[in-house]
Structure 1
Amino acid sequence: MQNKQWTQKEVNETLWRACDTFRGKIDSSIYKDYILVMLFMKYISDVYKEHYTELLEKYDGDKEMADRQIKLDRFTLNDASSFDDLYQNRNASNIGEIINKALADVEESNKTKLRGVFKNIDFNSESILGNTKERNTMLKDLLEDFSKLDLRPSRLLGEDVIGNAYEYLISNFASDAGKKGGEFFTPSEVSELLSRLVKPEENDRIYDPTCGSGSLLIKAFDKVPSKKAQIYGQERNGQTHSLARMNMFLHGIDDAKIAWGDTIANPLHIENGKLMKFQVVVANPPFSLDKWASGFSGESNGDFVMESSLDPFKRFDWGVPPKSKGDYAFVQHMLHSLAEGGRMGVVLPHGVLFRGASEGRIRKEIIDLNLLDAVIGLPANLFFGTSIPATILVFKQNRTRDNILFIDASQDGMYEKGKNQNKLKEEDILRITAAYEKYETEEKFTHVATKKEIKENDYNLNIPRYVDTFEEEELVDLEEVKENIESIKEELEELEAEMKKYLEELGL
């Protein structure tokens, strides 16, 4: 164990086996929090332990000097709140309480970076983990599973093994969780495509108003080679907000500003009393969210009608979306948060391209303001929890052109078909991004539509109106078909004659 080197694959497989502790007892959308928190605890404990050992060696066993130096690390850890201490107490009758206290100590010791990060997790919950005996058995098994892992940096082979392992787990949990999975994770290849389309640059502010577990933000941040960019996010779900903050920390991003709350009713990234502005905005908001404006009503009133005047930030002056479909509420929020020259990429259901009434009016306003740069149709069944095809809309402030590019990337051959879920391959991502860069019409794949075309289509952006992927069937040669039929008839007659001959020989 002391000298073993751990590959990414071995770490991933060991973590996935640790989930057996909960499988069949608790839904994966719930037990994911316990697994991910324990991974976090094990990792920071191993990092801390290794560095402390190195400092003791450096200072010839001078504990006081080592203690003083280690306080300058990214985080600090008390002996009583380390994973090793939890493991030593694995047989305790109150192990759930002991783990909760350790988590509280970690938060208290690292207030600026980890305050409140474990607030939504309770290792002593009877309603989730069962009675004392069941709970203690489960937690003991969990600690024993994680004790098999050695996550000291010197033992890990590869770059960002822990960050990758965290993403691996989240992805698998999202797949397991069905519809709920899509609420906290965007498939990595879609995140990769979005981040390449918006091209984050050094010193950009990068924002995701519905950030889930933060994977999309991390992909965008990784596109900045110097890592000099500031991350902002907001997430409504408390557990998912905690996942995002842990995800950032495990990827070495200590200064990410991830807020907890309803982005539409209570946007929390404010500057001088107005919405903060961002150079890059990326998002995969919940598709067609029902009751998206309920936060404005102040009560659960089924008769509540949202009006633009209720929003102090004037985001809905272009139109108030229908109460059962919040897609354009998020789009308008993001566009009002976009800085001069900013780029924005958002994943949405196809309905936003053609639905009428208030959504049609909003769409017309956005197009007339020359904010929409591209419409990209994605294959069906890419996302967790829904098989419907989605679209990526790319927006830009201060566009120098007034055409709109349409890309149909939903066709066969543009993605990898999977048993449960389809995937975009690297070559597919490259083809889409190259087409966006080229910004030209390519038969059966892309079309650059003029404003005149868009207006003639009553601002309907349905992709088949602009990209014709229809393949004409070859004309049937009737003479050839007739000859084939005659030939088949002759063969059939010969076979029947031969069959009759055999039957006669057998006396039948």
Structure 2
Amino acid sequence: MAESKDLLQILWSGADVLRGKMDANEYKTYLLGLIFYKYLSDSYLVSAYDLLNDEMPETLEEAQAAYEEEMQEDEAEEFLKELKGSLHYTLEPQMTYTSMLKDVKFNAFNREKLQAAFNRIQESDELFNGLFADVDLYSNRLGTGDQKQSATIAEVLRVLEDADLINAEGDVLGNAYEYLIGQFASETGKKAGEFYTPHGPAQLLTRIAIMGQEDKKGLQVYDPCMGSGSLLLSCKNYSNEPDYIKYYGQELMPSTYNLARMNMFLHKVHPENQVLHNGDTLDADWPTDVETGFDMVTMNPPYSAKWSAAKGFLQDERFMDYGGKLAPKSKADYAFLLHGFYHLKQTGTMAIVLPHGVLFRGAAEKTIRETLLQNGSIYAVIGLPANMFYNTSIPTCIIVLKKHREGRDVLFIDASNQFEKEKKQNVMKEEHIEHVLELYQNRETVDKEAYLASFEDIKENDFNLNIPRYVDTSEEEIPVDLKALTKEIEETNKAINETNATFLDMLGELTFADSETKESVEAFLKVFGEM
């Protein structure tokens, strides 16, 4: 195939076509959806050509021509069956991206054909059901009237032409997609909290949760608030058996759920290894029909969200063993935590990001916290820098949980200064993450950075886990040397007096053009001399 331009540059250029027409939260859906469609279409043509000729095509146009020719043959139905068996979807020749692009170049693009392609993919397999539902090809956001709307979509298709989505090595395409999601998160600000965890905290959460399990084949990971799936997919970077990871994720927002599904495919996660669900994590437990203990649970739930806290939840296995208390209606933080913890294997590790309030708030939250501590479930508390996340500037913390471990001590780490300031956000760089991981692994007290608290320490603090109670980061005030300070003041006063005297002498030597100016200066000298 022809060499492509820099992939990121091409993909990002697609955003420029849409940027002036709608905000980033909307145009991300179009761009990411069209990139995914191109990926499926290009993969389809290459697979078809390979099936026919047992080799890769030189160009997509060559693959298109071979596919069109094959579809005229008597064995076309058998050929389609074979393609669907391996890819889970089929496309008519006129539904491919290559065919659409040809129409664009001849000013004959018809968005109905593109919609038909979306529909064909979505109807091919349950795996793709509703995947393009948010890509509204008939929206007024694209322009006024059929012609302008079609022209906008056609221009995006034209811009993406040179993006080689098939020959990208390793996770280049997946990482480019991740980059775009991150850029959109940066542009959309507070709206981004629902779909993206910044790279630094995501890396820290994942590396803590996977620690000791890097060589496990068939690692099962779970994120009940998965957003775009970024946190789940970061496991691939730290596992020595990435092709065997099984991903379980749930997401409330349908559009974000679809984004996660696309993200999985673009990271080349096999369909059998992705078990994703669109639903309300707290409302009804999921998953329930399979083995529900996971090796890793990572979460970045919405902070202090509202939930029903209905009394019926006290009979729910996720929440029933915590002193007869539920997370309050106005703050679902502990409901999310307990849901994730319930689904953790006895040998697994869970890492969750939450606001600091969960460490010290009273009432029901204190009862739940105390129960977790009594059981030895809380393993570590790590204070993160402020302004790390797109949806809030407040400081947050990572709570690490384990089941049935020996001991009830808790490691506290103050990582609030482990960041570098960038344009909009504070960012944890590699050296900051490595330093926190070193403190976490060593699990010992380090002055002003970490404290290994015994259960007795925590009990004495009335089960309050506020980090400053354990890690003292205050600096001692330098004692003032009064003798030296007095001498310094005397020398300063002497210098001021000498300067004033010189200044008065200079003014006294002035000559004046008129008596009025002379009187004004003399009055000034008199006042200045009395000071």
Q: Which residue of 2 aligns with 1:490?
A: 494
2-structure distance, mates of 1:217, 1:190: 13
CA-CA distance at 1:341 after TM superposition: 1.5
2-structure distance, mates of 1:314, 1:285: 16
CA-CA distance at 1:309 after TM superposition: 4.7
Paired-residue identity, %: 38
Letter aligned with residue 247 of structure 1: N
1-structure distance, mates of 2:136, 2:142: 9
Greater Rg, structure 1 or structure 2?
A: 2
Q: Answer whether contact 2:44 2:87 (CA < 8 A) is retained.
A: no
Alignment of 1:18 with 2:21, yes or no, is no
Segment of structure 1 superposing worse, 49-58 or 401-410: 49-58
SS at 1:405's partner residue? strand
Q: Answer whether contact 2:383 2:397 (CA < 8 A) is retained.
A: yes
2-structure distance, mates of 1:128, 1:285: 33
Give deviations 1:119-142, integer Å, cap 9, x for gaps. Answer: 343222347765424422321222
CA-CA distance at 1:77 after TM superposition: 4.3
Within a 5 Å distance, the mapping from 1:80-119 to structure 2 comes to: 80-90=94-104, 95-109=110-124, 111=125, 113-119=127-133
SS at 1:288's partner residue? coil
Within a 5 Å distance, the mapping from 1:239-278 to structure 2 comes to: 239-254=255-270, 255-271=273-289, 276-278=292-294
Alignment of 1:449 with 2:436, yes or no, is no
Q: Answer whether contact 2:251 2:277 (CA < 8 A) is retained.
A: yes
Q: Answer whether contact 1:187 1:383 (CA < 8 A) is retained.
A: yes
Letter aligned with residue 162 of structure 1: L
2-structure distance, mates of 1:451, 1:57: 68
Letter aligned with residue 104 of structure 1: N
Alignment of 1:327 with 2:299, yes or no, is no
Q: 1:40 aligns with which of 36, 40, 45?
A: 36
Give deviations 1:312-348, integer Å, cap 9, x for gaps. Answer: 4452442211111110111111111112122100000
1-structure distance, mates of 2:27, 2:320: 38
2-structure distance, mates of 1:462, 1:126: 50
Q: Which residue of 2 aligns with 1:433?
A: 437
Q: Answer whether contact 1:163 1:251 (CA < 8 A) is retained.
A: yes
Query: For residues 434 and 502 of structure 1, do their structure 2 counterparts lie closer, same or farther at Cα, with a shift above 3 Å needed?
Result: same
CA-CA distance at 1:180 after TM superposition: 1.1
CA-CA distance at 1:382 after TM superposition: 0.4
CA-CA distance at 1:504 after TM superposition: 4.9
CA-CA distance at 1:3 after TM superposition: 3.7
Letter aligned with residue 248 of structure 2: Y
CA-CA distance at 1:93 after TM superposition: 8.4
Q: Which residue of 1 aligns with 2:426?
A: 422
Higher helix residue share: 2
CA-CA distance at 1:366 after TM superposition: 1.1
Give deviations 1:250-288, integer Å, cap 9, x for gaps. Answer: 00112210111111112331136xx82212110100001
1-structure distance, mates of 2:109, 2:10: 26
Q: Answer whether contact 2:326 2:335 (CA < 8 A) is retained.
A: yes
Query: For residues 306 and 25 of structure 1, do their structure 2 counterparts lie closer, same or farther at Cα, with a shift above 3 Å needed?
Result: same
Q: 2:466 aligns with which of 450, 462, 468?
A: 462
Q: Which residue of 2 aligns with 1:370?
A: 376
Query: For residues 87 and 225 of structure 1, do their structure 2 counterparts lie closer, same or farther at Cα, with a shift above 3 Å needed?
Result: same
Give deviations 1:431-480, integer Å, cap 9, x for gaps. Answer: 11111111101110101111111111111111001110010121111222
2-structure distance, mates of 1:390, 1:335: 19
1-structure distance, mates of 2:509, 2:468: 65
SS at 1:346's partner residue? strand
CA-CA distance at 1:171 after TM superposition: 0.5
Alignment of 1:149 with 2:163, yes or no, is yes
Letter aligned with residue 240 of structure 2: P
Q: Which residue of 2 aligns with 1:400?
A: 406
CA-CA distance at 1:20 after TM superposition: 2.0
Alignment of 1:283 with 2:282, yes or no, is no
Q: 1:160 aligns with which of 162, 171, 186?
A: 171
2-structure distance, mates of 1:453, 1:52: 66
TM-score scaled to structure 2, two decimals?
A: 0.84
SS at 1:270's partner residue? coil
Give deviations 1:200-254, integer Å, cap 9, x for gaps. Answer: 4332211000100000000124322112221100001000000001100100112
Q: Answer whether contact 1:316 1:332 (CA < 8 A) is retained.
A: no
Q: Answer whether contact 1:308 1:317 (CA < 8 A) is retained.
A: no
Q: Answer whether contact 2:142 2:148 (CA < 8 A) is retained.
A: no
Letter aligned with residue 261 of structure 1: G
CA-CA distance at 1:396 after TM superposition: 0.3
1-structure distance, mates of 2:341, 2:256: 24
Query: For residues 495 and 421 of structure 1, do their structure 2 counterparts lie closer, same or farther at Cα, with a shift above 3 Å needed?
Result: same
SS at 2:439's partner residue? helix
CA-CA distance at 1:375 after TM superposition: 0.4
Unaligned runs of 5+ in 2: 58-65, 513-531
Letter aligned with residue 160 of structure 1: D
Query: For residues 131 and 317 of structure 1, do their structure 2 counterparts lie closer, same or farther at Cα, with a shift above 3 Å needed?
Result: farther
Q: Answer whether contact 2:42 2:166 (CA < 8 A) is retained.
A: yes
Q: Which residue of 2 aligns with 1:4?
A: 3
Q: Answer whether contact 1:316 1:329 (CA < 8 A) is retained.
A: no
CA-CA distance at 1:488 after TM superposition: 2.0
Letter aligned with residue 278 of structure 1: F
Letter aligned with residue 285 of structure 2: P
2-structure distance, mates of 1:262, 1:284: 15
Letter aligned with residue 462 of structure 2: D
CA-CA distance at 1:87 after TM superposition: 2.2
Letter aligned with residue 3 of structure 2: K
Segment of structure 1 superposing worse, 174-183 or 234-243: 174-183
Alignment of 1:213 with 2:228, yes or no, is yes
CA-CA distance at 1:151 after TM superposition: 2.8
CA-CA distance at 1:112 after TM superposition: 5.3
Letter aligned with residue 471 of structure 1: E
2-structure distance, mates of 1:369, 1:215: 31
Q: Which residue of 1 aligns with 2:61?
A: none
Letter aligned with residue 496 of structure 1: N
Q: Answer whether contact 1:29 1:173 (CA < 8 A) is retained.
A: yes
Q: Which residue of 1 aligns with 2:515?
A: none
1-structure distance, mates of 2:280, 2:313: 18
Unaligned runs of 5+ in 1: 294-304
